[in-house]
Amino acid sequence: MQKMCLGIESTAHTFGVGIVTFSGEILANVKSTFQTEKGGMIPIEVANHHEKVKQTIFDKALKEANCTIKDISLIAVAVAPGLSPCLFVGLNFAKQIAKENNLPIVGINHSIAHLTIGNLVCKINDPVYLYVSGPNTQVIAKSGNKFRVFGETVDVGLGNMLDKFAREIGLGFPGGPKIEQLAKKGKNYIELPYSVKGMDVSFAGMLTKALRSKAEKEDLCFSLQETSFAMLAEVAERALAHTGKKELLLIGGVAANKRLGKMLDEMCKARGANFFAVPLEYSGDQGVMAAWQGILQYKAGERTDIAKLDIRPYERTDEVDVIWSS
């Protein structure tokens, strides 16, 4: 039987367990996401959710992979960055499993795992990454042995901007998919601030102007998408030109947006590059990415003393040494 890694994710709203073989075959992806009727996430409440579901998610993942814990060779756990109470649930659970079964353990950075799972499922190696989630909007690429952030939002993330607009006009949460549907019916382009500063983008002015506008909501949704997505296409193109890389990979929750994918695909085609978007299952938070990132680090020779493994709530993407080769 192939060697397998069991990965645990608990950095924020999702508790997930993934099982992946050392050659990259995904055998299980089971998760549970904390939700509220209204209001946001209170870290302690989210951690309680994770505590409650952890054993069930773990059991379901082994069942889905059709194996037992005796078949697992490595435990990986996301220890950075994230909400401390949530990170502790995953770390303590991972340590318990590793100790009980005498397994090696590896701690991984969640943001980096978002990038490397994209490489695995899209079968690419060294792209420019456009990472657009609720809070994040970043253009990232590997340079030397670090993932560098080439550009990012100077205020809100694109997903949060779309969610805020949707909430204010009464569309509910999450707003991104609803805006995408309404935008299809938009006919008139309403001029909104197009704000690119070097490699950075800003969405706050656009949001304010759209909220103050009296235009039809379909036209506003259409114009918000066209303007913000064009800004992202511009900075992504500049990153491709600057780094000489030939692939663009779209990751994060907003990657589900078909219009964004189409604009980026057209930009890539025009300059002889290839565009990829991470499929929805693997673009949000899950344990598969922790498992695969653990395998990359373990295969590159990383060995961790279980007693010393701790959470790193504030670790940045560009602080991690890339010791693995793909």
Q: How far apart are CA 176 and CA 225, in angstroms?
A: 10
Q: Choose among ligand AMP, Mg ion, none what residue 254 binds, the Cβ cut-off being 5 to 8 Å by kind.
A: ligand AMP
| Number of residues lying near ligand AMP (CB under 6 A) | 17
CB 243 within 8 A of CB 127: no
Q: What are the two backbone dihedrals, phi and then psi, of residue 243, each rounded to the nearest 5 degrees?
A: -90, -20
* Per-position x/- string for 239-278, each x denoting binding to Mg ion as judged by CB under 5 A, each - no binding: ----------------------------------------
Q: 200 or 285: whose CB is closer to Mg ion? A: 285
252 touches ligand AMP by CB under 6 A: yes
CB 149 within 8 A of CB 318: yes
285 touches Mg ion by CB under 5 A: yes
Query: Order of strands across the sheet with 26-33?
Result: 26-33, 14-21, 4-9, 74-80, 105-109
9 touches Mg ion by CB under 5 A: no
Q: How far apart are CA 83 and CA 44, in angstroms?
A: 9
Residues 6+ apart with CB under 8 A from 121: 26, 278, 279, 282
Q: How far apart are CA 207 and CA 190, in angstroms?
A: 13
CB 137 within 8 A of CB 232: yes
247 touches ligand AMP by CB under 6 A: no
The stretch among 1-9, 18-26, 144-152, 253-261 that binds ligand AMP (CB under 6 A) is 253-261
134 touches ligand AMP by CB under 6 A: yes
Q: Binding ligand AMP by CB under 6 A: which of 81, 118, 186, 253?
A: 253
Segment 173-192, which members bind ligand AMP (CB under 6 A)?
Answer: 174-177, 180
Q: Choose among ligand AMP, Mg ion, none what residue 257 binds, the Cβ cut-off being 5 to 8 Å by kind.
A: ligand AMP
Q: 16 or 134: whose CB is closer to ligand AMP? A: 134
Minimum distance from CB of 114 to Mg ion (Å)?
A: 6
Minimum distance from CB of 272 to Mg ion (Å)?
A: 31
CA atoms within 13 A on the CB side of 203: 29
Minimum distance from CB of 174 to ligand AMP (Å)?
A: 4
257 touches ligand AMP by CB under 6 A: yes
The conformational region for residue 241 under phi > 0 = left, psi -120 to 50 = alpha, else beta, is alpha
Minimum distance from CB of 224 to ligand AMP (Å)?
A: 10
Minimum distance from CB of 29 to ligand AMP (Å)?
A: 15
Q: 80 or 105: whose CB is closer to ligand AMP? A: 80
133 touches ligand AMP by CB under 6 A: yes
Q: Choose among Mg ion, ligand AMP, none what residue 237 binds, the Cβ cut-off being 5 to 8 Å by kind.
A: none
The stretch among 1-9, 60-68, 199-207, 246-254 that binds ligand AMP (CB under 6 A) is 246-254
Binding site residues, ligand AMP, CB under 6 A: 133-134, 159-160, 162-163, 174-177, 180, 252-254, 256-257, 284
